[in-house]
Structure 1
Amino acid sequence: MKTKKQNADFLHVGEKLLAWYRTHGRDLPFRSTNDPYKIWICEIIFQQTRIEQGLNHYHNFINRFPDVETLANADTEEVLLYWKGLGYYSRALNLHKAAQQIMEDYQGIFPEKYEDILQLKGVGKYTAAAISSICFGAKIPAVDGNFYRVLSRVFADDFDVSNSSAFKYFSELTLRMMPEKHAGHFNEAMMDLGSEICKPRNPKCEICPLNKDCLAFNLGKIQDFPVKSKKVKPQDLELTYYFVQFGHSFLIKQRKEDFIWKKLYEFPVEIPESFSRYLVSMKTVLHKLTHKNLTIYIYKVNLPTKKLLNDFAKEYDFTIENLEGSSKKSFPKPLENYLKIIE
């Protein structure tokens, strides 16, 4: 079915959404500021984390790294430690590198132009648009999954959101709705409507401020939108780790910046054949990442002497750690959970 959006009063719908937001917008701590640094941090944190789950992480991160300079000068391991529990650790690494970019290229002052913000490490079109519109008033749509869903339903628009040109298509559609001087509030209104009312499943259409204008709702076809044809098939991967210990000490090493879990700590991924006699148990863990299904085998290896542990650590460049020390380091979630079981 083709869209009937050409018959809609776009700006009227946008103004109606903005009026709803002024009354029903979520009372969130970062909405009381126009500080681009804080808006940047919150946008990165909440891209993959529910608001209620991420608020404490946001406060802790901002309290420890209150400005660009503090973050730029921090040690990478400490940044990762304060990101602990949020997952997607590459985002923390990108935040750290971007803060250093701002110090070097902009003398520590957060850039105002959308194009400059977009050049920061780890910042995509959505985040750059959110910062530009909320902090600097730029009329740029912060298009994300919420926009796709709301607009597809309101206009019964069957444009495939998995299409590579979806961002451009829905950005142009949004610009026709966006009030001239309230781009930031409009973007936040779309985020709130998409996350609180126009949900992927079981949307609350009866209290939606746009239900009289929503073609999908009035046609009884809410669940038909948005249209998405492409589905990325997850890749199945198997990983093996060895928890090599003597007494309360065990071996860890920091990962490099390739593949998954960049800069996080892990256990050895292989051991000398002579160590196989000291295997005492094996645990299988299933873990999902974006586009990856992991099966992780963790073997526990109890060495009989401290010398064996020391020699292995020295030869293969591992760090000898204990549970107390490891709590100050960041591990992939499956290994972090394993350490909790050991403890």
Structure 2
Amino acid sequence: MKTKKQKPDFLHLGIKLLNWFKLNSRDLPWRKTKDPYKIWICEILLQQTQVKQGLNHYLKFVEKFPNVKNLAEANEDEVLLYWKGLGYYSRAINLHKAAKQIMLDFNGKFPENYTEILSLKGVGKYTAAAIASIAFEQKFPAVDGNFYRVLSRLFADDFDVSRTNAFQYFSELALLMMPEYHIGNFNEAMMDLGSEICKPKNPFCEACPFNEECLAFKSGTINNYPVKTKKTKVTDLELNYFFINYKGEFLIQQRKDDFIWKKLYEFPTEISENINKYIRRSTLISHKLTHKNLKITINDVQCPDLKIFKKYAKETNFEISDFEESKQKSFPKPLQSYLEKMEKKEDFQAELF
């Protein structure tokens, strides 16, 4: 860390952050509870999801699954359905597995110890720290991208956030600022500051409680922090699907618990020669995941009669669905969008004829 002649008053900064949070905290439903279950759901849901997008999903999810027992006893397809629209469905699968783990290993009571929380399926250091601090006031900084950005700029710190020990480094820095009280509020304040004020681009430095102390702001080097030298490698992936259909019904299958889009439903990825001849057109779709650029081809296979359609479904063990039934299942976003467009087309044809 770059040092100045005068050593920062770390604790003063932490208290200043808490005072700012008292006046500026966001009014969010999960901040009105100390229930570790609901805080857990919120933290998992908001990974890769913005608050505005996740708010209604959170309310519906905890209404349907109000506690660990309800979630553990639910059918996996039902859990995925209530996650529909959020993407990154492995989060929902891990939530379901972790709920069963809590029932089995902790007698249905959400664990209170940081190490035990960390042992839950799908829970990493950040999430464990967030739950332990917010629900139980345990002194663990919930270090994430917001912490990296705020602390790097505040101290003009050029520590590379892509290094493997970045979490530990910034945790120790945050602990110097963290008071002995209102631990959860400190972590939530840092989250709000990073997401609302100290944004990656075009930060609102004039509204920041640290603008008098922030070394990057005072030196005009805000855009230089945080330092990240290692870039995420993005790979290209091609997928090929067959929308085998007959008058509003179509064939689907459920993905296995591996690779991308675990346990979601999809169209068949292979087709026999005798059905291949019924391909009418192909649709090309581009879709981005965190580490992958997808090129998706969906072939519209229109069976000429019901007998051929049902015979092929039986031979291949594909499931027959219609548009209304498909709404009770979770599909990857590109396939969901394709279904919505095809349904509108079916409605149009029904009106026309």
Give me the whole-angstrom Cα distance separating, in 1, the residues matched to 2:172 and 2:6.
13
The more displaced of 34-43 and 2-11 is: 2-11
Number of the residue aligned with 2:223: 223
Checking the alignment, whether the CA contact within 8 Å between 1:130 and 1:141 is kept in structure 2 is yes
Where does residue 276 of structure 2 map in the other structure? 276
Q: Is 303-312 or 12-21 further displaced after alignment?
A: 303-312
Q: Which position in structure 2 is the counterpart of 1:163?
A: 163
Give the TM-score normalised by structure 2.
0.95
Amino acid at match of 2:79: V
Secondary structure of the 1:12 match is helix
Q: Distance in 2 between matches of 1:166 and 1:317?
A: 49
1:111 paired to 2:111? yes
Give the direction of change, closer, same or farther, for the CA distance of 1:320–1:179 in structure 2 (3 Å limit). same
Q: For each residue in 1:87-121, what CA deviation from the matched residue of structure 2 results, as whole angstroms up to 9, or x when unmatched? A: 01000000001000111111111000000000000
Give secondary structure in 1 for the equivalent of 2:252.
Answer: strand
Q: Secondary structure at the match of 1:237?
A: strand
Q: Conserved in 1, the CA contact under 8 Å of 2:80 and 2:93?
A: yes
Q: Tell me, yes or no, if structure 1 residue 178 matches structure 2 residue 178.
A: yes
Q: Give the letter for the 2:294 counterpart.
A: L
**Does the 8 A contact of 1:103 with 1:109 survive in 2?**
yes
Helix, strand or coil for the counterpart of 2:195? Answer: helix
For structure 2, the 5+ residue unaligned runs are: 344-353
The 1-side partners of 2:272 and 2:254 are apart by: 20
Residue of structure 1 equivalent to 2:349:
none
Distance in 2 between residues matched to 1:249 and 1:6, nearest whole Å: 72
Give the 3 Å change call, closer, same or farther, for CA 123–6 of structure 1 in structure 2.
farther
The number of equivalent residue pairs is 343
Deviation of 1:233 after TM superposition, in Å, equals 2.0
Q: Is residue 72–residue 96 contact of structure 1 (8 Å, CA) maintained in 2?
A: yes
Which SS does the other structure have where 1:7 is aligned? Answer: coil
- 1-side partners of 2:5 and 2:145: how far apart? 19
How far the C-alpha of 1:315 sits from its partner, in A, is 2.0
SS in 2 for 1:48: coil
| One-letter code aligned to 1:71 | L
Deviation readout 1:31-73 (Å, 9 max, x if unpaired)? 1100000000011111211111111000000100000000000
Distance 1:240 1:140 in 2: 46
> Counterparts of 2:280 and 2:94 in 1: how far apart (Å)?
39
Distance (Å, rounded) in 2 between the aligned partners of 1:316 and 1:22 = 60
3-state SS of 1:164 partner: coil
Q: TM-score normalized by structure 1?
A: 0.98
In 2, the alpha carbon distance for the partners of 1:115 and 1:7 equals 33
When the two chains are superposed, the root-mean-square deviation of aligned CA atoms in Å is 1.1
* Structure 1 outlier segments of 4+, above 4 Å: none
Q: SS where residue 129 of structure 1 aligns? A: helix
Aligned-pair identity (%): 64
